[in-house]
């Protein structure tokens, strides 16, 4: 876990527990990528070449209950994830919703001892559209402080992502142009966030 980490000194075991959780989800994510590789017609380790230096991010998120808020106030606006896969643990407050093929928002109810898997844009491109990036949002109507811990497991920043050969055919030609993952993420970050005033490169 790189970058500046602010660990609370009041919780001496917090850092150890978070790092253990991070490493466990990172290991699980690698296994899931191999399962996707098989599902797309390749050997289990075929996609490993794109994850030699995976871009991995663990976030600890909280959504405070907004007082007197309308029922459709977003804790997180509708979006799809930019990378490969996201593993998410949410607490018992709920609030996560996914968009179905019928264009209806469906509650993803909390389940004990479970994780949620979202596929992102890169899996959509590799699979030539077979694997859809999961559109989702968060609406906290529980009147509780909501917590979620997503791990984003993505390919190496120098990866060029394009539809895999076995996902393309004369009947189903490539629907996506190749993209450079690092350039794609940089463009997204610059469009969505303001870095004015930073004195160090990010």
What pTM was computed for the model?
0.86
pLDDT tens digits, one per residue of 53-87: 999 999 998 877 766 655 555 556 778 999 999 99
Cβ pair 148, 90 in contact under 8 A: yes
Q: d(Cα 39, Cα 34) in Å, to the nearest integer?
A: 9
**What angle is formed at CA 46 by the lines to CA 82 and CA 31, rounded to 5 degrees?**
65
Q: Can you tell me the mean pLDDT for 139-162? A: 89
pLDDT band for position 164 (cuts 50, 70, 90): very high
Decide which of 114 and 201 is more confident: 114
Ordered domains of the chain (ranges, CATH)? 14-192 (2.60.120.330)
Cα dihedral 20, 22, 23, 28 sign? positive
pLDDT at 25 over 50: yes
């Amino acid at each position: 876990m790189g970058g500046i980490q602010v660990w609370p000194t009041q919780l001496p075991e917090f850092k150890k527990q978070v790092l253990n959780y991070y490493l466990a989800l990172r290991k699980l994510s690698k296994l899931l990528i191999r399962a996707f590789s098989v599902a797309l017609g390749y050997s289990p380790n075929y996609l490993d070449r794109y994850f030699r230096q995976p871009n991995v991010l663990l976030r600890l998120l909280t959504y405070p209950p907004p007082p007197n808020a309308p029922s459709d106030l977003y804790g997180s606006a509708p979006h799809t994830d930019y990378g490969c896969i996201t593993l998410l643990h949410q607490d018992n407050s709920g609030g996560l919703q996914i968009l179905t093929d019928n264009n209806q928002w469906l509650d993803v109810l909390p389940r004990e001892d479970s994780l949620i898997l979202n596929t992102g844009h890169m899996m959509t491109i590799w699979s030539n559209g077979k694997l859809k990036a999961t559109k989702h949002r968060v609406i906290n109507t529980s009147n509780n402080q909501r917590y979620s811990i997503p791990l984003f497991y993505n390919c190496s920043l120098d990866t060029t992502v394009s539809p895999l050969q076995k996902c393309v055919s004369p009947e189903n030609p490539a629907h996506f142009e190749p993209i450079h993952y690092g350039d794609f993420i940089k463009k997204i970050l610059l469009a969505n966030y303001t870095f004015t005033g930073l004195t160090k490169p990010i």
